[in-house]
Amino acid sequence: MKILLFTNSLGGGGAERVVASLANHWAGRGWRVSIVTIEPARADFHRLDPGVERIALDLGRPSRGALDALSQNLRRIIALRRVLAAARPDVALALMSTPNVLLAFASLGMARMRTVGSERCYPPHHPLGRVWTALRRRMYRRLDALVAQTRESAAWIRAHCPAQRVPVIPNAALWPLPQHLPRIAPQDMCLPRRRILLAVGRLEPVKNFGALVEVFRRIAPAHPEWDLVILGEGAQRPALEAAAGAALGAGRIRLPGIAGNVGDWYARADLYVLCSHSEGFPNCLAEALAHGLPAVSVDCDTGPRDIVRHGVDGLLVAPGDGAALGLALERLMEDPGLRSRFAARACEARERFSLERVAGMWEALFRDLHVGRRT
């Protein structure tokens, strides 16, 4: 099959990892795969199979008002339409809300090609603004399918964006994870025999790492052998560094940055924690389980409850309840037997969210769309 994937960028985020992993998988199977991004290729974080064609529109400049935004998006639609006309893929797949809308516009009149959009978050938690919301409501119906990551997201899309079909396909949890630069060695940051509580994500307000630092500050004195490591980068780094230093002094809370060898950190850690205000389908949580890490996660509206099986491979706690999060963390931090039992079952995520299984769900959708086209 000939497939084209379209998204904002190939930076270090979860949606970008999905694009790269699917593209590499299909290229490895001999498919003709192209990745098109709005942002330039110099912003790429993920390594691609040599068989993947990389096309960067380089049209990501921030807009300077409403008219400039309209002009820029028209240029993006025209540029994408030219790429689609030249590549002539069997399926064009967009990931994230605005690329979905742009693909719907750019593919108008291209009857041979099947178009698929994909929401990578729970839409109510990520409002687009009045104009994009109206465009999403109108244009999603012009796509052949709109993929959601969870049942809750699919229900919202069906109610607010009358797409033709809304299948649910989770993200894959790669195991083992590919490694690339930058590499940060855990042994360079963590002292031997220290227990590690690990969190991974962008250092942005939605990930709620400030609350995690505060929870760890409260429980850390009772667990002197444990340290907290938060892998990632973002605008909140200065505030988090200040809070970490004020909380416990140097050493027990570390922020190494963004790492291309995050699998080494899963292997070094003893417990994983997720405390986000909202998620779509948190890749890092599924990857942590696949690497045999028990997890404690906030049960935000979508994602964690589809990954963590409460009392089997981890614990779920109510959103916004710092006391409950602290108690759940302490329960596992002080009970190595429970951590071991959860870890033994956590590895089942390797099969539950295997790339072969998830890619197979995408492929089944593509086959159905082609059968429908021929009919």
Radius of gyration (Cα) for the chain, nearest Å? 21
Closest CA to 225 of 337, 333, 297, 315: 333
Across residues 17-42, what is the average pLDDT? 97
Give φ, ψ of 129 to 5 degrees: 95, 160
Order of strands across the sheet that contains 314-317: 253-257, 226-231, 195-200, 271-274, 295-298, 314-317
Q: List, for residues 256-305, the tens digit of each pLDDT value.
A: 999 999 999 999 999 999 999 999 999 999 999 999 999 999 999 899 99
> Which percentage of the chain shows pLDDT scores above 90?
94
Q: Identify the DSSP state of 302.
A: S
Given the DSSP bridges, would you call strands 295-298 and 2-7 parallel, antiparallel or unpaired? unpaired
Given the DSSP bridges, would you call strands 32-37 and 114-118 parallel, antiparallel or unpaired? unpaired
Six-digit token string for 322:
């710092």
pLDDT of residue 250: 62
Kindly tell me if the per-residue pLDDT of 161 is higher than 70: yes
pLDDT of residue 375: 46
Give φ, ψ of 166 to 5 degrees: -130, 80
* pLDDT class of 14 with cuts at 50, 70, 90: confident
Report how far residue 343's alpha carbon sits from residue 275's, in angstroms, rounded to the nearest whole number: 20
Which domains, ranges and CATH numbers included, belong to the chain?
Answer: 2-172+354-374 (3.40.50.2000), 186-352 (3.40.50.2000)
**From the CB of residue 50, how many other CB atoms can be counted at a distance below 10 Å?**
6
Across residues 47-60, what is the average pLDDT? 97
Kindly tell me if the per-residue pLDDT of 219 is higher than 60: yes
Element (H, E) at 86: helix 66-87
Kindly tell me if the per-residue pLDDT of 372 is higher than 70: no
Report how far residue 95's alpha carbon sits from residue 87's, in angstroms, rounded to the nearest whole number: 18
Kindly tell me if the per-residue pLDDT of 325 is higher than 80: yes
* pLDDT class of 158 with cuts at 50, 70, 90: very high
Kindly tell me if the per-residue pLDDT of 342 is higher than 70: yes
Kindly tell me if the per-residue pLDDT of 44 is higher than 90: yes
Across residues 223-250, what is the average pLDDT? 92
Across residues 10-22, what is the average pLDDT? 93
**From the CB of residue 179, how many other CB atoms can be counted at a distance below 10 Å?**
13
Q: List, for residues 84-138, the tens digit of each pLDDT value.
A: 999 999 999 999 999 999 999 999 999 899 999 999 999 999 999 999 999 999 9
Kindly tell me if the per-residue pLDDT of 374 is higher than 60: no
pLDDT of residue 13: 86
Give the total residue count for the chain. Answer: 375
Report how far residue 209's alpha carbon sits from residue 276's, in angstroms, rounded to the nearest whole number: 8
pLDDT of residue 237: 97
Q: List, for residues 306-315, the tens digit of each pLDDT value.
A: 999 999 999 9
Kindly tell me if the per-residue pLDDT of 370 is higher than 90: no
What integer best gives the mean pLDDT of the chain? 95
Order of strands across the sheet that contains 145-147: 52-56, 32-37, 2-7, 91-94, 114-118, 145-147
Q: List, for residues 1-13, the tens digit of each pLDDT value.
A: 999 999 999 998 8
Six-digit token string for 177:
């994870």
